[in-house]
Amino acid sequence: MRHYLDHNATSPVRPEVIDAVAAAMAADGNALSVHEEGRRAHKIVEDAREQVRRLVNAPVNGVVFTSSGTESIHYVLHGAVAAHKIQRIFISAIEHPAVAANAATTGAEIEAIPVNSAGVVDLDQFREQLRDYRENNSGAFLVCLMFANNETGAIQPVAGAAAITHEFGGLLFSDAAQAVGKIPVNFVMSGADILSFTGHKFGGPLGVGAVVAGPNLALEPVLRGGGQEMNRRASTTNTPGLAGLGKACELARESLARADEIARLRNEMQAAVLHAGAKVWSTEAERLPGTLCLSAPGFSGATQLMNMDLAGIAVSAGSACSSGKSKPSHVLTAMGASDEEATTSIRVSLGWNSTDADAGAFIREWPAAYQRIKARAA
């Protein structure tokens, strides 16, 4: 029996979502066509938009659909830089690699926002960083601060950072890919100007994402052509994918209701690895309920992955997007980890269908594997 503990990479698609996608695939029509088939497709898309809006409390006409979390990030960064003449982008040191990589192609100056040893941005230090910028520069700026970190699960002070950003006249973008569907996310209350997420992190289909922004916030289109997405993002609408995204958003409330149960499973696994001699990251911070990031001296991340896979357990070495690469985790490095700590880290992540059996398998297999490694080194 396999035990899937890699929800932060991609969460298994919920059966109801598969049904919604299949039903939409069986229907005819382009969502921009005016005939009956087109109107039916258009309704599917707009129903999904409303389901997204309700889940994250987005403003009316504030949801723009994309093909992925990465495309959303690219659109936000390039669209904001072009529309607002952004001169500098402040990026937290723990952002997903897609943020730094896409920011680097905008032409704006890049400045890192440091984090503390818990992997959280310090708001007092952040305020001073922006104050220093504003005292020496009059140019527009954008701040990128994720809602929750994909490796450690540390939840960031987005509302506080947004208030400070606005005090100094900037815009704040929050990549909420790891937060939506796992913890309550309220776009309006967060204070963020722009937020993005993707469906496959909480039981939705692959290949669909969303950008949430105020309807009057200017974002220069990156994909041009047709008039889809209120002229904000051209491309033939992925009606089946959006049907699935909408259904996942509708069902996300069930996952949110399981948060305490998921946290219990995470804490049981955490206790087991600490007892075995591992170090767990961001325990001092508020974390996503299902995320556990650990380092084990002498037990490389790649070796941990292989051992767990052979035992029927799926986990990741840091970000799944970087798994298989030998470089240390940039997230843990930013938190002050040593090279060994950053290269012996893995991420265990639970989600909507995780069970006691899944956590129990990890509690049984991981400490035993680590004990074998330590015995060989003795």
Q: CA–CA separation, 151 vs 106, rounded Å?
A: 26
Q: Are residues 239 and 261 in the same domain?
A: no
Structure tokens at 346: 């893995």
Average model confidence (pLDDT) across the chain: 94
Q: Are residues 240 and 277 in the same domain?
A: no
Nearest to 48 by CA among 208, 230, 216, 288: 208
The tens digit of pLDDT for each residue in 131-175 reads 999 999 999 999 999 999 999 999 999 999 999 999 999 999 999
Task: Tell me what the mean pLDDT of segment 317-322 comes to.
Answer: 58
| pLDDT score recorded for residue 37 | 84
| pLDDT score recorded for residue 294 | 98
Confidence of residue 31 (pLDDT cuts 50, 70, 90): confident
Instruction: Indicate the pTM of the whole model.
Output: 0.94
Q: Are residues 240 and 327 in the same domain?
A: no
Q: Are residues 213 and 358 in the same domain?
A: no
Q: What percent of the chain has pLDDT over 70?
A: 97
Q: CA–CA separation, 66 vs 359, rounded Å?
A: 34
Task: Tell me what the mean pLDDT of segment 175-191 comes to.
Answer: 98
Structure tokens at 155: 């939840």
**Which of left, alpha, beta for 357 (phi over 0: left; psi -120 to 50: alpha)?**
alpha
| pLDDT score recorded for residue 245 | 98
Q: Is 225 exposed, middle or buried (0-12, 13-18, 19+ CB in 10 A)?
A: exposed
How many residues are there in the chain?
Answer: 378
What CATH number should be reported for the domain holding residue 50?
Answer: 3.40.640.10
The structure tokens 């941990």 sit at 304
Q: Are residues 363 and 223 in the same domain?
A: no
Look at residue 14 and tell me whether its pLDDT is greater than 60.
Answer: yes
Q: Are residues 200 and 96 in the same domain?
A: yes
Look at residue 38 and tell me whether its pLDDT is greater than 90.
Answer: no
Confidence of residue 21 (pLDDT cuts 50, 70, 90): very high
Confidence of residue 326 (pLDDT cuts 50, 70, 90): low
For residue 241, the enclosing domain spans 15-254
- Whether 321 sits among the annotated catalytic residues: the reply is yes
Task: Tell me what the mean pLDDT of segment 194-203 comes to.
Answer: 98
Confidence of residue 323 (pLDDT cuts 50, 70, 90): very low
Q: CA–CA separation, 193 vs 172, rounded Å?
A: 5
Select from 207, 230, 254 the last residue of a domain.
Answer: 254
The tens digit of pLDDT for each residue in 232-277 reads 786 878 999 999 999 999 999 999 999 999 999 999 999 999 999 9
Q: Are residues 231 and 373 in the same domain?
A: no
Q: Are residues 31 and 149 in the same domain?
A: yes
Q: Are residues 286 and 372 in the same domain?
A: yes
Q: Are residues 225 and 355 in the same domain?
A: no
Name the catalytic one among 144, 249, 293, 321: 321
Q: CA–CA separation, 170 vs 243, rounded Å?
A: 35
Look at residue 186 and tell me whether its pLDDT is greater than 60.
Answer: yes
Q: Are residues 86 and 28 in the same domain?
A: yes
3-class DSSP assignment, residue 267: helix
3-class DSSP assignment, residue 312: coil
Select from 234, 254, 274 the last residue of a domain.
Answer: 254
Look at residue 324 and tell me whether its pLDDT is greater than 60.
Answer: no
Q: ∠ CA(357), CA(359), CA(363), 5° rounding?
A: 110
What CATH number should be reported for the domain holding residue 319?
Answer: 3.90.1150.10
Look at residue 218 and tell me whether its pLDDT is greater than 50.
Answer: yes
Encoded amino acid at 5, one letter: L
Q: Are residues 165 and 272 in the same domain?
A: no
The tally of domains found in the chain comes to 2
Q: What are 17's strand-pairing partners?
A: none
Look at residue 373 and tell me whether its pLDDT is greater than 80.
Answer: yes
Select from 254, 273, 301 the last residue of a domain.
Answer: 254
Q: What are 109's strand-pairing partners?
A: 88
